[in-house]
Amino acid sequence: MARAQVQQEPRLETTEGTGINISCSHPNKRIQDSIHFYRHLPDRAPEFLALIARGSKELSDIAGQLWVSADHRSSALWLRQPRRGDAAVYYCALG
């Protein structure tokens, strides 16, 4: 059995108020797997943001949207108007 793997861009940047798409590639995702997104703000513990298995969902807490591609091989977290306080390390994981 192949292990599920995820890949992300090592670094993304945007300016305050300019939307950004944080993408995640998972070519071996099984239909029953969920994608979990986390963020790690400086000097804080990692924070769970949301999970999704298919389709899309609004994330009102962070003014964003989470979606999974139709073929389930990629997903993304869209931050509509990121603020300076949103600067963090963002992770995705399969579960």
pTM for the model stands at 0.85
Residue 61: pLDDT band by 50, 70, 90 thresholds?
Answer: confident
pLDDT at 66: 95
Residue 26: pLDDT band by 50, 70, 90 thresholds?
Answer: very high
- CA separation for the pair 53, 51 (Å, rounded): 7
Q: Delimit the domains of the chain by residue range.
A: 17-94
- CA separation for the pair 1, 83 (Å, rounded): 42
- According to CATH, the topology of domain 17-94 is Immunoglobulin-like (2.60.40)
At residue 64, does pLDDT exceed 70? yes
pLDDT at 50: 93
Q: What is the 3-state secondary structure (H, E, C) of 11-62?
A: CCCCCCCCCEEEEEECCCCCCCCCEEEEEECCCCCCEEEEEECCCEEEEHHH
